[in-house]
């Protein structure tokens, strides 16, 4: 049994890491700014929840005490959180180093270093911090999640129009399978290589229109597909398939299969 700290263990992927780690018999601590109270919904029995903030360092020492591996599932989408995202990772690694932790695993996004947008730059900045750490690190670069496409489609459907980026394809994966990859990296034996990168993708590559039709079928939405050009760096990334890694099919749960389970 290993004591594992999941930073962001109340989020979409983090809570799956916590669930799977507890199920495998590991001892788990969770870092979040808003941890669920004891017995509250969203908390897993067998995991210890700590109120801690990687942008201030508050609460980190307590959450990291006795931990062997830390798994970083943090997010910072916009504003201050986006600006502080990479520095938060550095603060977490620093606190982990002080706590005597030997290894850290980071969840990142496939080819984030190829997209000159602030959000992706913050991911690439954090990857560089992990690659320069004194700790052994594994960066797990995942393709987009099934849930991201659902969010995009559902948001558009509220006004009757389901957005489809012209020429875009996705290799989406289940957040739970990204969690499994993180946990595998966390518990594998020590490596000769101090810093490693692992790439994990979903089982299929699908056009965005095909994904939208599948989502319509499962959700019952009557929205109309609207095909839009996406200019700029993000459009180029998608059109050129920068988000695809067909040679790294890790997940087995397809978009349709994942929707059917929900």
Ligand X SMILES: NC(=O)c1ccc[n+]([C@@H]2O[C@H](COP(=O)([O-])OP(=O)(O)OC[C@H]3O[C@@H](n4cnc5c(N)ncnc54)[C@H](OP(=O)(O)O)[C@@H]3O)[C@@H](O)[C@H]2O)c1
Please report whether residue 14 would count as binding ligand X according to CB under 6 A. Answer: yes
| Helical segments of 103-174, H only | 118-131, 146-157
Angle at 240 between CA 239 and CA 242, to 5 degrees: 110
Closest CA to 256 of 201, 215, 200: 215
Please report whether residue 144 would count as binding ligand X according to CB under 6 A. Answer: yes
Please report whether residue 33 would count as binding ligand X according to CB under 6 A. Answer: yes
Q: How far is the CB of 257 from ligand X (least distance, A)?
A: 17
Among 17, 21, 54, 150, binds ligand X (CB under 6 A): 54
* Residue 126: Cβ-neighbour burial (10 angstroms; 0-12, 13-18, 19+): buried
Listed in order, strand segments (DSSP E) in the chain are 3-7, 27-32, 47-51, 69-72, 103-109, 136-142, 161-165, 169-170, 195-200, 206-207, 224-228
CB 47 within 8 A of CB 9: yes
Of 14 and 223, nearer to ligand X (C-beta) is 14
Options 3-11, 42-50, 204-212, 220-228: segment touching ligand X (CB under 6 A): 3-11
Of 59 and 223, nearer to ligand X (C-beta) is 59
Please report whether residue 29 would count as binding ligand X according to CB under 6 A. Answer: no
Please report whether residue 34 would count as binding ligand X according to CB under 6 A. Answer: yes
Please report whether residue 11 would count as binding ligand X according to CB under 6 A. Answer: yes
Please report whether residue 111 would count as binding ligand X according to CB under 6 A. Answer: no
Q: How many residues bind ligand X (CB under 6 A)?
A: 25
Structure-token match 């201050």, residue found: 80
Options 48-56, 183-191, 192-200, 215-223: segment touching ligand X (CB under 6 A): 48-56
Cα within 13 Å of Cα(31), Cβ side: 31
Please report whether residue 222 would count as binding ligand X according to CB under 6 A. Answer: no
Among 2, 12, 199, 221, binds ligand X (CB under 6 A): 12
Please report whether residue 202 would count as binding ligand X according to CB under 6 A. Answer: no
Please report whether residue 13 would count as binding ligand X according to CB under 6 A. Answer: yes
Q: Which residues contact 182 (CB under 8 A, 6 or more apart)?
A: 13, 17, 71, 73, 105, 107, 140
Please report whether residue 113 would count as binding ligand X according to CB under 6 A. Answer: no
Please report whether residue 198 would count as binding ligand X according to CB under 6 A. Answer: no
Instruction: Name the 3-class secondary structure at 117.
Output: coil
Please report whether residue 261 would count as binding ligand X according to CB under 6 A. Answer: no
Instruction: Point out which residues bind ligand X (CB under 6 A).
Output: 8, 10-14, 31-34, 52-55, 73-75, 81, 88, 107, 109, 142, 144-145, 148
């Amino acid at each position: 049994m290993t004591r594992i700290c999941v930073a962001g263990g109340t989020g979409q992927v983090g809570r799956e890491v916590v669930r799977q780690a507890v199920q495998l018999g590991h001892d788990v601590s969770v870092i979040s700014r808003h941890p669920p109270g004891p017995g509250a919904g969203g908390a897993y029995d067998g995991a210890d929840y700590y109120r801690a903030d990687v942008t201030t360092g508050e609460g980190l020492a307590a959450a990291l005490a006795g931990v062997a591996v830390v798994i970083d599932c943090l997010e910072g989408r916009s504003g201050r959180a986006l600006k502080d995202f990479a520095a938060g990772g550095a603060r977490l690694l620093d606190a982990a180093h002080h706590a005597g932790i030997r290894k850290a695993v980071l969840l990142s996004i496939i080819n984030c270093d190829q997209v000159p947008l602030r959000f992706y730059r913050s991911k690439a900045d954090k990857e560089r911090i992990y690659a320069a750490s004194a700790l052994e690190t594994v960066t797990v670069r995942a393709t987009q999640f099934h849930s991201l496409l659902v969010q995009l489609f559902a948001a558009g459907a509220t006004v009757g129009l389901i957005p489809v980026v012209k020429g875009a394809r996705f290799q989406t994966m289940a957040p739970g399978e990204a969690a499994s990859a993180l946990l595998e990296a966390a518990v594998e034996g020590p490596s000769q290589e101090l810093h490693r990168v692992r790439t994990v993708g979903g089982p299929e590559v699908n056009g965005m229109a095909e994904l939208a039709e599948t989502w319509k079928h499962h959700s019952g939405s009557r929205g109309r597909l609207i095909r839009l050009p996406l200019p700029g760096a993000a459009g180029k990334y998608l059109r050129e398939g920068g988000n695809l890694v067909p040679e790294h099919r890790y997940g087995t749960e397809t978009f349709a299969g994942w929707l059917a389970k929900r």
